[in-house]
Chain A
Amino acid sequence: MLHTVNKSPMERNTLERCLQYAKKGSAILLIEDGVYGALKGTTVTDKVRKAMKDVTIYALYPDIEARGMQDRAIDGIKLVDYGGFVDLVAEHRNVQSWL
């Protein structure tokens, strides 16, 4: 299953809930303000790093770049463009958008 998160984890609980729900082997794509969850040195970085042992975390690079965060992504987070977003949706049976 693919999960998408579009809110900053400092503002809403969607990333936290998503991390609880995402099963081993599933994928999480951070988009829009959700990309703030992909960064080093924040209050959620450790939680995200820990989750990366069981799930693959992706972030939409155009949203990272737009926000000036291009040098701050946690190592191991996979950066994708909109084509990569499409591939992720196609590769997974279903998608849950954590709005």
Chain B
Amino acid sequence: MSETTGGVEMQEDVSGVVKKFLYVNRKAPYGTIYALESLEVVLIAAAFDQDVSLVFLDDGVYQLVKGQHTKTIDVKNFSPTYRALEGYDIEKLYVEKESLAARGLTPEDLIVPVTLLSAAEMSDLMDGQDIVLSF
């Protein structure tokens, strides 16, 4: 099993096809495992040379806040991984303005640089995707 592709042999009919994949993150970290396991999908997806975008809305914006210290709940702090995404050529991170404002947060509170989009702009982005994976 190849670690970089999560066990997939790159096949003829897969290589060359580039689809737009959107990962929709709407859930806060730690209370449930969705945020972490979604990030694991994104890291594997990087090996497939697809057009990947990540959006964070609703409580999903909490995944990106600085200052997460998880030692006392005995769970791995995976927030630094968002900073490593750039190294995997995953550079399209979008945060919904309204969700951030509703939580009293600003882009300065986030662990990575992101592009802010309004809900209307985010809706356009979603509409133009081939595959939407929601967690």
Contact = CB atoms under 8 A, between A and B. Distances in A.
A23 B129 CA distance: 14
B97 interface: no
Contacts, number: 34
Interface string B117-135: 0010011101101111011
Interface residues of B, number: 16
B24 interface: yes
A14 B126 CA distance: 15
Nearest to A17: B58
Nearest to B99: A17
B28 interface: no
B24 A96 contact: yes
B135 A99 contact: yes
Contact of B129 (A17, A21, A22, A94): A94
A13 B26 CA distance: 11
Interface in A25-40: 26
A97 interface: yes
A94 B132 contact: yes
Interface in B75-133: 119, 122-124, 126-127, 129-132
A95 B26 contact: no
A10 to B, nearest CB: 17
B134 A21 contact: no
